[in-house]
Amino acid sequence: MSVVHIEIEDVDMADVRRIASRQQVPVEQILKQAVKNLVESEKGVEMLRLRAERGRSVDINDVLSRVPPRSPDAGDELPPE
Give the model confidence (pLDDT) of 29-58 as tens digits. 999 999 999 999 999 999 888 887 777 666
What is the reported pTM? 0.61
**Closest residue by Cα to residue 13 from 25, 33, 28:** 28
Round the CA-based radius of gyration of the chain to a whole number and report it.
24
What are the DSSP calls for 12-71, one per residue? Answer: HHHHHHHHHHHHTS-HHHHHHHHHHHHHHHHHHHHHHHHHHHHHHHS-HHHHHHTSPP-P
